[in-house]
Amino acid sequence: MTAAAAPVKSVLNESKQIERAAMLIQMGARMQVLESETSLSYERLIRLYKEIAGKSPSKGQLPFSTDWFLTWQENVHSSLFLNIYEYLSKGVSLDSVELLTKAYRLYSEQVATAEIEPLLSFTRAWRLVKFVDAGMLTRTKCSQCGGHFVTEMYENPRAYTCGLCNPPARAGKSKSAGALMLH
């Protein structure tokens, strides 16, 4: 019987992991995302975070609730991101982090072009993908406009109407800059 060989440390692999972590930090990823998506040690990630961001990373756990993605404006932003993510996943061969970062960049470009404040942080986008992968959230087609929106798994697709076709009573009334406005 032979013992399993320990993985050989590769300078090239470590360099790629540092590059990946740096990109994620620049996009606003929290420590939990970095720990999950790289093989670097916690201590190394802390030092890298401080060097790139110029401050210590935020403390505390990430929220573990699907509710945020289902409220009106947040749902519109989450749905835009997830539709971009799903579209890219069908046409491009990328690993999960590359796919996430490309989709998030496209989401950011779209909201900037529309002069809308981005509500979806990179970490929330990452969490959204994890919720979808775990079967906690899905996309459901709106019965009126045909768009696909983030919903809970048990949403009735025949009766579902999105928040753009049937907005809440106070939706679009905000005077804050960058908010969605309904006409």
Spell out the alpha helix ranges (H) of the chain. 11-26, 31-37, 42-53, 72-91, 96-113, 122-133
Contact 22, 48 (CB under 8 A): yes
Q: What is the distance between the alpha carbons of residues 13 and 107, in angstroms, rounded to a whole number? A: 29
- Tokens, residue 167: 């907005």
Q: What is the distance between the alpha carbons of residues 147 and 154, in angstroms, rounded to a whole number? A: 18
Residue numbers belonging to the annotated binding site: 142, 145, 162, 165
Spell out the alpha helix ranges (H) of 42-121. 42-53, 72-91, 96-113
Say how many residues make up the chain: 183
Residue type, position 167, single letter: P
Residue numbers belonging to the annotated binding site for Zn(2+): 142, 145, 162, 165
